[in-house]
Amino acid sequence: MPAFAQDAQTGFPLTQIRHGQAPQSRENRKIGFVPSKLCENNEEVWSQAELRRIFIAMTTRKPPRRRPRLRSMPQRLAWIAGLPALLLGAAEASAQSFTPEATARGVTVMTRQRPDYDPAGIRAGGFRLDAALEAGAGYDSNLVPGTGSQRSGGFAEEALSLGAQTTWSRHALGLSASQITRQYFQDSDLNWNDWSVGAGGRYDIGRASNIRLRYDHVRSHIDVDNFDLQDGNTGRVPVPIDTDIVQLAGTAAFNRLELGSSVEYRRIRYQDVTVNGQRDTVSTNDYNTLLGEFTADYSLLPGRSVIGLVRLQDISYERGDQSGRDSFTWEAQGGIRYDANGLVRVRLLAGYRNRDYEEPGRKALSGPAFEGEVSYAASQLTTITVTAQRSIEESIRESSVSYTRTAARLRVDHELLRNVIVSGEIRGERRKYPQDGGTVSDGIALAEARYLITRNLALVATYQHTERLEAPEGIREYGRDQVMLRLRMAL
């Protein structure tokens, strides 16, 4: 056999393979192969299988990939400057990825579904049952704002909510109940207990038309920092209010035009309270109201439409000696609804409102009316919302029947982590009382952090500062700080 004959698989000379020998190059040692045995004269002896493995490893190794050379100094600087942002973005993307449903149009940080942390509820046939319980404690730096002496104190708060909703593809039924109680550790006269029960349903007609009916009974209260309860330096306690609400509404869609109408009846009953040993008959302000609303929405383009709105309201007081406070209100507004690629959503309405009273000598209350909301998705993790409204509200002050309320709100919600949501809010409110009743302006700043521990547990921390910026003569301005920490348990 010729001395130069080679093995067909490895390419090594056959004489070396037969004797179990192979050249001991640096590549052999580098790829980690060692001989299986040594011959009698301590020479390395390789089997044919080992030699074939060495040859395959040496011939199939790929040369190392080189990083592309940067051609100029500006490119180097740009690469170095962009590296931190690239690493941060990669870390953020790996930590918080979103499903298509979580980034759909109209979804905000607070309304986004989080399957890993949202309560699953209880499925019972065609219904879903939900329940939640909250309990916590807080501190109030000014229990009765605007009085001569400022006192502080702690409190405990408990809240319960129950709900049942159908999961049908068409039509819907729902039941709800809620209750929230605050008890002060030392000032029991400031305790309050709010609750509500309700039921409603929806009957679908065609693709986008429906009829809705709902009833609610609500027990709420007027807080002690409300200007309607402030009268110089006298003591105050929360005033309970019972409200029955019946609402019938419907929507009809005709191609680009959508028409809506609703009729709402409210029965408001105030509960008398005792202040400093004297009975305050707040129930003299009981009244009933009937409100009708008609809307028209014409779509110019997808997500862009013009809106028209008309409201009519009749208010009648329960007691005969208060019949002069009865009133009739009408308003007409027009505006737009605009959706810019899902990032900016705008709804703005403006018009005129007028309220006439039954009492001949009482001047009508009229002026501009507006309401609007702008929602901006600054990123998938941040939502900014701005709202504003001007309306006419009823008052329980003896010297006033109604007042004009102008309110604005700026709120920022940020998803710091997948299960940590922080929010900040600034609100402003201005009340203008007619017939030299004065002007009241309040500013409120709120900060909140929500930590979703599991699907069933969440920890919520809240801080709120209230500042009375402007008040009529004889009414004290004040500041108030409230801090609360509560644990939420949900099914």
Say if 439 falls within a structural domain: yes
Is residue 157 located within the same domain as residue 26?
no
The rounded percent of the chain whose pLDDT value lies above 90 is: 57
Question: Is residue 246 over pLDDT 60?
Answer: yes
Say if 166 falls within a structural domain: yes
Domain count, the chain: 2
What pTM, to 2 d.p., does this model score? Answer: 0.76
Is residue 294 located within the same domain as residue 432?
yes
Q: What is the extent of the structural domain holding 42?
A: 14-57
Identify the band that residue 349 occupies on the pLDDT scale cut at 50, 70 and 90.
very high
Higher pLDDT, 352 or 46: 352
Say if 309 falls within a structural domain: yes
Q: In this structure, what CATH number is given to the domain that contains residue 227?
A: 2.40.170
Is residue 147 located within the same domain as residue 281?
yes
Is residue 199 located within the same domain as residue 53?
no
Question: Is residue 423 over pLDDT 90?
Answer: yes
Which range, of 96-110, 162-176, 252-266, 351-365, averages the lowest pLDDT? Answer: 96-110
Q: How does pLDDT run across 115-140, given as a tens digit for each residue?
A: 889 998 999 889 999 999 999 999 99
Is residue 461 located within the same domain as residue 333?
yes
Predicted pLDDT of residue 93? 42
Question: Is residue 66 over pLDDT 80?
Answer: no
Identify the band that residue 110 occupies on the pLDDT scale cut at 50, 70 and 90.
confident
Predicted pLDDT of residue 276? 79
Question: Is residue 302 over pLDDT 50?
Answer: yes
The mean pLDDT value for 137-155 works out to 88
Is residue 32 located within the same domain as residue 159?
no
Question: Is residue 463 over pLDDT 70?
Answer: yes
Predicted pLDDT of residue 69? 53
Question: Is residue 467 over pLDDT 90?
Answer: yes
Predicted pLDDT of residue 96? 60
Is residue 232 located within the same domain as residue 359?
yes
Say if 109 falls within a structural domain: no
The mean pLDDT value for 361-377 works out to 92
Is residue 401 located within the same domain as residue 265?
yes
Is residue 27 located within the same domain as residue 150?
no
Q: How does pLDDT run across 170-194, given as a tens digit for each residue?
A: 999 999 999 999 999 998 889 999 9
Higher pLDDT, 295 or 115: 295
The mean pLDDT value for 150-165 works out to 94
Is residue 190 located within the same domain as residue 314?
yes
Predicted pLDDT of residue 231? 64
Predicted pLDDT of residue 356? 94
Query: Which residues neighbour 307 within 8 Å (Cβ) at sequence distance 6 or greater?
Result: 295, 296, 297, 334, 335, 336, 337, 347, 349
Say if 116 falls within a structural domain: no
Question: Is residue 12 over pLDDT 50?
Answer: no
Question: Is residue 55 over pLDDT 90?
Answer: no
Write down the mean pLDDT value for the chain: 84
Say if 419 falls within a structural domain: yes
Question: Is residue 15 over pLDDT 50?
Answer: no
Predicted pLDDT of residue 180? 97
Choose the final residue of a domain: 57, 76, 92.
57
Query: Which residues neighbour 296 within 8 Å (Cβ) at sequence distance 6 or greater?
Result: 257, 258, 259, 260, 307, 308, 309
Say if 132 falls within a structural domain: yes
Is residue 38 located within the same domain as residue 161?
no
Which range, of 13-22, 101-110, 229-238, 478-487, averages the lowest pLDDT? Answer: 13-22
Predicted pLDDT of residue 412? 96
Predicted pLDDT of residue 242? 96
Question: Is residue 26 over pLDDT 70?
Answer: no
Predicted pLDDT of residue 19? 44
Closest CA to 106 of 305, 343, 423, 335: 343
Question: Is residue 80 over pLDDT 70?
Answer: no
